[in-house]
Amino acid sequence: MSAPFLKSIATRRTIYALKPELPSALSIADVQKTIQAIIKDTPTAFNSGVNHAVILTGATHKSVWGSVTDAIEAEAGKKRPASVRDEAYGSVIFFTDDKITEGLQEGFPAFAAAFPDFAAHANGAAQMFAWTALEEDGLGAHLQHYNGYVKAALAGKVPEHWTVQAQLCFGTPAAPAGEKTFAENPVNILN
Ligand SMILES: Cc1cc2nc3c(=O)[nH]c(=O)nc-3n(C[C@H](O)[C@H](O)[C@H](O)COP(=O)(O)O)c2cc1C
């Protein structure tokens, strides 16, 4: 029964070569519905709802990724964010809500040290679901972590107490994923 789910997981790959368009069967509203469902249904510690996301596209995507590119000094370091600016159709920005994490720390002091990790884990799960779902819908995507730069570029557009966790950059695939090697890491049954 889980075979289609496992196939989706195996099919998801890092696709860097993107065109700044959507496949013809897909609208940005479809992408929004998908990400909304993932934010709703991804579990969070104590069911706290710590995850948030926004989707950047159009002029905002260009200006945010332009700011990230400009803020990086080394020429080599500008390459990836410039490619996102010019070649991705959009980017999903993932956040965790620090007020929720602080509330949990106050409410459950025994777990206080763990809540930032729990928030990051739950956010990572949402990132993986989103990456897999968008590629199932015919998009290509890659995951980035220009967190501080993106936070600065989004100042005033999202609440200050949202921490940027990752960026999933998407568009129409322009080339397949590269070769990949796998660590088998056998899973044993201890009986
Ligand atoms: C938690 C996590 C963080 C990652 N961060 C980055 C990143 O910052 N930049 C990047 O180009 N790729 C990043 N990647 C992509 C990995 O390099 C990639 O998933 C890995 O090489 C396996 O390739 P695949 O995605 O094609 O299966 C990240 C992946 C994961 C799971």
Question: Tens of pLDDT along 125-161?
Answer: 999 999 999 999 999 999 999 999 999 999 999 999 9
pLDDT at 163: 98
Distance 182 CA to ligand 1 centre (A): 13
Residue 108: left if φ>0, alpha if ψ -120 to 50, beta else—which one?
Answer: beta
pLDDT at 36: 99
* Atom 2 of ligand 1, residue of closest alpha carbon: 143
* Atom 1 of ligand 1, residue of closest alpha carbon: 124
Kindly state the average pLDDT of the residues 175-181.
Answer: 97
Percent of the chain whose pLDDT exceeds 70: 100
Kindly state the average pLDDT of the residues 170-186.
Answer: 97
Please state, in angstroms and rounded to a whole number, the distance separating the CA atoms of residues 154 and 177. 30
Strands 51-57 and 140-144: unpaired
What are the tokens at 100? 């929720």
CA of 24: how far to CAs of 60, 98, 106, 177, in Å? 22, 38, 48, 21
Per-residue model confidence as pLDDT tens digits over 56-65: 999 999 999 9
Q: Is the CB of 79 under 6 A from ligand 1?
A: no
pLDDT at 171: 98
pLDDT at 172: 98
Q: Is the CB of 183 under 6 A from ligand 1?
A: no
Best mutation site among 143, 164, 165 for ligand 1 pocket (most ligand atoms within 8 Å of CB): 143
* Atom 27 of ligand 1, residue of closest alpha carbon: 13
Single out the residue of 158, 164, 144 nearest to residue 88, CA to CA: 144
Best mutation site among 9, 12, 14 for ligand 1 pocket (most ligand atoms within 8 Å of CB): 14
pLDDT at 33: 98
* Atom 9 of ligand 1, residue of closest alpha carbon: 144
CA of 143: how far to CAs of 106, 119, 150, 172, in Å? 32, 18, 13, 15
Q: Is the CB of 123 under 6 A from ligand 1?
A: no
How high does pLDDT run on average in the chain?
98
Task: Write the DSSP symbol of residue 77.
Answer: G
pLDDT band at 121 (very low <50, low <70, confident <90, very high): very high
Please state, in angstroms and rounded to a whole number, the distance separating the CA atoms of residues 126 and 40. 9
Class of domain 32-163: alpha beta
Per-residue model confidence as pLDDT tens digits over 71-108: 999 999 999 999 999 999 999 999 999 999 999 999 99
Please state, in angstroms and rounded to a whole number, the distance separating the CA atoms of residues 182 and 191. 27
> Cα 112–117–122 angle (5° rounding)?
120
pLDDT band at 31 (very low <50, low <70, confident <90, very high): very high
Residue 13 CA, closest ligand 1 atom number: 26
Residue pair 36/13 in contact by the 8 Å Cβ criterion: no
Task: Write the DSSP symbol of residue 114.
Answer: G
Burial class (CB in 10 A: 0-12, 13-18, 19+), 33: exposed
HSE-CB of 13 using CA atoms within 13 angstroms: 16
Please state, in angstroms and rounded to a whole number, the distance separating the CA atoms of residues 23 and 88. 12
* CB-CB neighbours of 59 under 10 Å: 8
